[in-house]
Amino acid sequence: MKTDSKIDKALALDLLGKMMKARKFEEKVQYYFSLGMIHGTTHLGIGEEACAAGTCSALEPLDDMFATHRGHPAAVCKGIDINKMMAEIFARETGVCKGKGGSMHIADKSVGVLGANGILGPSLPLACGSALAHKKLKDGKVSLAFFGDGASNEGAFHEAMNLASVWGLPVLFVCTNNTYGMSTHISKVMKVTDIEKRAIPYGMKSVTVDGNDVMEVYNTVKEMRKYAYENNEPVLIVENTYRTSGHSKSDGNLYRTKDEINYWKERCPIKRFKERLLSEGIATQEEIDNVDKETTEIIDNAVKFALDSPYPKLEDIYDDVYAD
């Protein structure tokens, strides 16, 4: 799918800002993790920002989004409060989940972030249900589930694809195909690696895009959202991209070469988008530098906010086990 030749400047700067925010957010997390100031584990999606920014920006603000364990960029781009998200990763009481969720469970229903998920696959059935609710409630929303190429081999993927199509649910299944399930290359675990084709037996519309081209992602998802909402139909969107960071903090990158990583670093979605904006005269270097500066400030402030926040109190552990 080709992108429009003329790019709206405000949209372009917004998408660039989101990608840079996501990138800088993760770089900070990586930095503080290596200092031992963030505990647990984190799954970074450095290199995949165009998928998150393009996809989430194409949704309506209150559409529901179910993310994966590699969910930082999606949450950032869906509009979550950056301070609270950073505080969550630092396990603070002011965190978006009160310090009880952490990196793998970032959620904020008020902006349609229905949770990163520590399990592979459930985002699809959950999004089916959410879409079913929107259809019944006629509230104008659709639901979207992110998942990876790895999760597309889970039973939940196939059950949800079938259910969504047979029930006609306004749901977008977005496969962030970074070609590795942890360390295992897609070619080792799938006979047919063209994930788009998995929609065919379920009678579902599907499309593949360059996941490192933010405009192409944005335009495609925008169009598919409209289609899903208007027709009460699910859509499968495959966004091909690459994770230049390791799977998690314990990844030694033994399964791929430096050359491969460097090849993809050259195709970095942020770098590419900046070059395009400059070459097509959509934004000036100064304007881009301003975005850079602003996003750096936002992330620095978020770190400061997190570090200034208290840890949750042990006596509050029983809060929120049950809803009132």
Partner 1 sequence: MVEITYANAIKDAISEEMRKDDNVFMMGEDIGVYRGAFGVTGGMVEEFGEDRIMDTPISETAFVGAAIGAAVSGMRPIVEIMFSDFMSVCWDMILNQAPKMHYMFGGKVNVPMVLRTASGGGTGAAAQHSQSLEAMLCHIPGLKVIVPSTPYDAKGLLKSAIRDNNPVMFLEQKLLYRTKGMIPEEEYTIPIGVADVKREGKDCTIVTYGRMVHTCLNAAKQLEEENIDVEVIDLRTLLPMDKEAVLKSVRKTKHLIIVHEAVKTGGLGGEIAASVAETDVFNYLDAPIKRLASEDVPVPFCPILEKGILPDEDKIVKAVKEVLA
- Could you tell me the two tokens for 147? 């998942």
Among 47, 125, 148, 269, binds partner 1 (CB under 8 A): 125
Cα 23 from Cα 296, distance rounded (Å): 10
Among 52, 75, 131, 186, binds partner 1 (CB under 8 A): 131
Determine if 320 is a binding residue for partner 1 (CB under 8 A).
yes
Among 66, 180, 218, 273, binds partner 1 (CB under 8 A): 66
Cα 149 from Cα 75, distance rounded (Å): 19
Determine if 75 is a binding residue for partner 1 (CB under 8 A).
no
| Nearer to partner 1 among residue 11 and residue 133 (C-beta) | 133
x/- site string to partner 1, residues 36 to 65, per CB under 8 A? Answer: ----------------------------x-
Cα 188 from Cα 50, distance rounded (Å): 26
Where do the DSSP E strands lie in the chain? Answer: 64-66, 143-148, 171-177, 180-181, 184-185, 205-210, 235-240
Among 67, 86, 124, 288, binds partner 1 (CB under 8 A): 124
Q: What string of DSSP letters covers 31-75?
A: HHHHTT-S-S-----TT-HHHHHHHHHHS-TTSEEE--SS-HHHH
Interface segment toward partner 1; rule CB under 8 A; list 28-36, 40-48, 257-265, 316-324: 316-324
| Nearer to partner 1 among residue 144 and residue 270 (C-beta) | 144
Cα 82 from Cα 29, distance rounded (Å): 12
Total residues interacting with partner 1, rule: CB under 8 A: 52
| Nearer to partner 1 among residue 271 and residue 313 (C-beta) | 313
Neighbour count for residue 260 (Cβ, 10 Å)? 14
**19 CB burial (10 A radius; 0-12, 13-18, 19+):** buried
Q: Which helix (H) or strand (E) holds 308?
A: helix 285-308
Stretch 87-106 residues interacting with partner 1 (CB under 8 A): 88, 95-101, 105
Stretch 136-195 residues interacting with partner 1 (CB under 8 A): 136-137, 139, 141, 143, 155-156, 159-160, 162-163, 166-167
Contact predicate 25/76, CB 8 Å: yes
Among 119, 182, 189, 200, binds partner 1 (CB under 8 A): 119
Contact predicate 288/274, CB 8 Å: yes
| Nearest residue to 267 via CA among 213, 215, 231 | 213
- Least distance (Å) between residue 241 CB and partner 1: 25
Contact predicate 282/9, CB 8 Å: yes
Cα 91 from Cα 100, distance rounded (Å): 7
Determine if 204 is a binding residue for partner 1 (CB under 8 A).
no
Give rounded-to-5 percent helix, strand, coil for the chain. Answer: 50, 10, 40
| Nearer to partner 1 among residue 100 and residue 272 (C-beta) | 100
Interface segment toward partner 1; rule CB under 8 A; list 2-10, 33-41, 130-138, 232-240: 130-138
| Nearer to partner 1 among residue 109 and residue 271 (C-beta) | 109
Among 7, 44, 114, 236, binds partner 1 (CB under 8 A): 114
Residues near partner 1 (CB under 8 A):
64, 66, 88, 95-101, 105, 107-110, 114-115, 117-119, 121-122, 124-134, 136-137, 139, 141, 143, 155-156, 159-160, 162-163, 166-167, 319-324
